[in-house]
A and B are shown apart, each in its own frame.
Chain A
């Protein structure tokens, strides 16, 4: 192999990450542009769907729409199997909203109000 050829290939290898990054960026941009053309169709269908969650885990109803399923649902694909996606872990209840609403609905000095205040302090 001649020195010039080895040098050219060496330079090409050195520049290869930049070339690949540029190629992938152009391809990704083209694919995003093509996808944007489908936005009106998606918008027309999405308003009829119960959630924007993807239809990825239809076998387990609590995973089909994790954003609006029951909080803390028990889940197992089988006995003693690990829980890969607990719905309750993904979506915490709106504690601030609940406690603020509860505080407003209880009279000051009541046992329930004191309990709420104690809970708020411990948080």
Chain B
């Protein structure tokens, strides 16, 4: 019996094709927008956390006037003998504004002894690793392309320091690592120091690796005691930063979309609750030929469920395709930030069954519940009154 009612409900939707498409299309668009923002946000959080493990357990900066400044590399001695500290590495890195790019690039000095990177281990798209002392650099594929450089070309980056040397591009990062390397220029520590104007013996910050990362909070407290002007950043706090950063951006995008979503939902509600003259006559005929109130109620409910289910499925599919198959055109700049060098790497979905089902139920549940009242009103209408009117 229910199968026949379902078939009748589908037939009724097909007869009122324009209305069904308007209702379902509006709902599908709203679901697609919300789902796309959620998919993209979760994916960005996931990407940020993928490199989390490689980050040092503690980063120590020096604050002057509330802002980070360079820290004497000799300060490492005050940290190195803290129990549980395995290694303290002074790091040299910073930003250089490129007028040609109208944006900043991140110049990073490579300390000696780090594991090699190559085309073979998948880190480089082309070329080879740096040879210390040879004034060489590795850059992102897009950055190299933007600067019109090929491996073997030399580039003199703007710097007020006379020690700065023109550097030869010897490799480019693989484009799938763009999310981390799009604006990065990797060179040896001496070149980075000269480019950034960092005095010998100073470092941008100190990277602290612990034997037991669980002791980070205790070690951080000891570092503050020994270096009262230091700003200590624990790795665990980064996760919170990423959650807040992307959550806030998602909130802004969703907030800006609320008027559009509300307008669509109001339109959908209006279309769903309003019963036209044709529909009223159809219900009257059905009841006149023997349909019970329950049958009519089920048929009207099935109509709402069919539209809601189809639109939710379409919306989820569109949202997913928009973000992961098409690369989120139009949405990505609003969520990932503003940059001249835009990372093109595709994002990896983090969504699982529970989240997808959660979105489905959150949309379909209220939609079907809201349809009960108009369905009940239609089902209890007097057939004679309906036919006369």
Contact = CB atoms under 8 A, between A and B. Distances in A.
A70 to B, nearest CB: 5
Size category, A interface: 35 or more
9 contacts: A10-B306, A13-B310, A16-B310, A16-B314, A24-B356, A25-B356, A42-B177, A85-B248, A90-B241
Interface stretch (B257-265, B277-285, B289-297, B337-345): B337-345
Given A47-B115, A101-B221, A54 B66 contact: no
A55 B232 contact: no
B337 A41 contact: no
Contact of B237 (A7, A42, A52, A67): A67
Nearest to B183: A58
A31 B248 CA distance: 26
B7 A10 contact: yes
A45 B177 contact: yes
B338 A57 contact: yes
B348 A35 contact: yes
B379 to A, nearest CB: 19
Interface string A25-40: 1011001100100111
B336 A56 contact: yes
Nearest to B97: A61
A63 B103 CA distance: 12
Contacts of A9: 10
Interface stretch (B47-55, B159-167, B370-378): B47-55
B272 interface: no
Contacts, number: 265
A66 to B, nearest CB: 6
Contacts of B176: 38, 41
- Between B54, B105, B240, the greatest number of chain A beta carbons within 10 A of the residue's beta carbon is seen for B54
Contacts of B180: 42, 45-46, 49, 52, 54-55
Interface string B314-342: 10110010001000000000001111110
A80 interface: no
A-side interface mostly: helix
A48 B336 contact: no
B59 A68 contact: yes
Contact of B6 (A14, A41, A54, A72): A14
B232 to A, nearest CB: 7
A62 to B, nearest CB: 10
Given A3-B7, A63-B337, A97-B224, 15 more contacts: A13-B306, A16-B310, A16-B313, A40-B121, A42-B50, A45-B180, A47-B115, A52-B48, A53-B242, A54-B44, A55-B339, A58-B105, A77-B338, A90-B248, A91-B233
Contact of A50 (B104, B106, B117, B179): B106
Which 9 pairs from chain A and chain B are nearest by CB? A46-B54, A41-B122, A57-B337, A28-B349, A16-B313, A52-B51, A58-B183, A56-B337, A6-B7
